[in-house]
Structure 1
Amino acid sequence: MRDVVVVGGGPVGLFLGALLAERGLDVAVWERREAPGASSRAIGIHPPSLAAFDRVGVADAVAAEAVRVRRGIARSGRRTLGVVPFAGVHPRFDFVAALPQLRTEAMLEARLAELAPGALQRGVELVAVDDADPSRVRLVARASGVESSEVARFVVGADGPRSTVRGHLGVAAALRSYPDPYVMGDFRDDTGSGDDAVVHLEGDGVVESFPLPGGARRFVVHTGTRLQDATAEDVARLVSERTGSPVDPATNTMLSGFVARRRIADRTVRGRLALVGDAAHEISPIGGQGMNLGWLDALELAPLIVAAVAKGAVDEGALTAWGARRLGAARRAAGQAEANMALGRPVGAARRVVRDTALSAVLATPARRTLARAYSMAWT
Structure 2
Amino acid sequence: MTDQLSPRRRTGVPRAEDKLHDVAVVGGGPVGLLMALLLTRRGLDVAVLEQRTSRSIHSRAIGIHPPALAVLDDAGVGPALLAAGVRIRRGTARSRGREVASLSFEAVPGRHPYVLAVPQVITEQLLEEQLEALRPGALQRGVHVHGADDDGATVTLSCRVGAGPGSGTRPGAGPERAADRDAEHPAGPDTSTVRARLVVAADGAYSALRRQRGVAVRTRTYPDAYLMGDFADTTPDGSTAVLFLEAGGIVESFPLPGGTRRWVARMPGVVSHPTAAGLASLIARRTGIGPEPESCTMLSAFSVSSRMPRRLVAGRLALIGDAAHQISPIGGQGMNLGWLDAAALAPIMAAALRGEPTAAALRQFEADRHRAAATATWQAHLNMALGRPLPPAMLAARNHVFGALTHIPGAHDAVANRFTMH
TM normalised by structure 2 equals 0.88
- Take 1:202 and 1:314, find their aligned partners in 2: how far apart are those partners? 54
Q: 2:209 aligns with which of 157, 160, 165?
A: 165
Indicate whether 1:192 and 2:236 are aligned. Answer: yes
Cα-to-partner distance string for 1:231-268 (whole Å, 9 max, x where unaligned): 00111011111111131001000000001111111110
Which residue identity does 2:75 align to in structure 1? V
1:81/1:363 contact within 8 Å kept: no
- Take 1:276 and 1:130, find their aligned partners in 2: how far apart are those partners? 19
Q: 1:229 aligns with which of 265, 270, 273?
A: 273
Describe how 1:98-137 pairs up with structure 2 within 5 A: 98-131=117-150, 133-137=151-155
1:282 maps to which residue? 326
1:271/1:316 contact within 8 Å kept: no
Task: Describe the SS at the equivalent of 1:281.
Answer: coil
Indicate whether 1:139 and 2:182 are aligned. Answer: no
Describe how 1:79-90 pairs up with structure 2 within 5 A: 79-90=98-109
- Take 2:35 and 2:351, find their aligned partners in 1: how far apart are those partners? 15
Cα-to-partner distance string for 1:171-209 (whole Å, 9 max, x where unaligned): 111221111110000000111111000000000000000
2:386 maps to which residue? 343
2:66/2:110 contact within 8 Å kept: no
Indicate whether 1:355 and 2:374 are aligned. Answer: no
Indicate whether 1:205 and 2:234 are aligned. Answer: no
Describe how 1:246-325 pairs up with structure 2 within 5 A: 246-311=290-355, 315-325=358-368
1:8/1:160 contact within 8 Å kept: yes
Task: Describe the SS at the equivalent of 2:322.
Answer: helix
1:272/1:314 contact within 8 Å kept: no
Following superposition, the deviation at residue 90 of structure 1 comes to: 2.9
- Across the aligned residues of Structure 1 and Structure 2, the Cα RMSD in angstroms comes to 1.0
- Take 1:361 and 1:130, find their aligned partners in 2: how far apart are those partners? 56
1:18/1:56 contact within 8 Å kept: yes
- Take 2:341 and 2:304, find their aligned partners in 1: how far apart are those partners? 22
1:224/1:345 contact within 8 Å kept: no
Any runs of at least 4 consecutive aligned residues in structure 1 with deviations exceeding 6 A, and if so which? Answer: none
Indicate whether 1:53 and 2:96 are aligned. Answer: no
Which residue identity does 1:240 align to in structure 2? A
TM normalised by structure 1 equals 0.97
- Take 2:154 and 2:407, find their aligned partners in 1: how far apart are those partners? 56
Indicate whether 1:327 and 2:327 are aligned. Answer: no
Cα-to-partner distance string for 1:89-146 (whole Å, 9 max, x where unaligned): 1331010000100000000000000111000000111132111x22221222121342
Count residues with an aligned counterpart. Answer: 376
Structure 2: tracts of 5 or more residues without a match: 1-19, 163-188
2:43 maps to which residue? 24
Q: 1:154 aligns with which of 195, 198, 205?
A: 198
- Take 1:336 and 1:320, find their aligned partners in 2: how far apart are those partners? 25
2:247/2:392 contact within 8 Å kept: yes
Following superposition, the deviation at residue 314 of structure 1 comes to: 5.3
Structure 1: tracts of 5 or more residues without a match: none
Cα-to-partner distance string for 1:19-62 (whole Å, 9 max, x where unaligned): 11111100000001111112111100001111001111110110
1:81/1:360 contact within 8 Å kept: yes
Determine which structure has the larger strand proportion and give its number.
1
% identity of equivalent residues: 49
- Take 2:306 and 2:382, find their aligned partners in 1: how far apart are those partners? 13
Task: Describe the SS at the equivalent of 1:202.
Answer: coil
- Take 2:236 and 2:243, find their aligned partners in 1: how far apart are those partners? 14
Which residue identity does 2:359 align to in structure 1? E
2:51/2:142 contact within 8 Å kept: yes
Cα distance change of structure 1 residues 226 and 271 upon mapping to structure 2, 3 Å threshold: closer
- Take 1:228 and 1:150, find their aligned partners in 2: how far apart are those partners? 39
Following superposition, the deviation at residue 371 of structure 1 comes to: 0.7
1:29/1:121 contact within 8 Å kept: yes
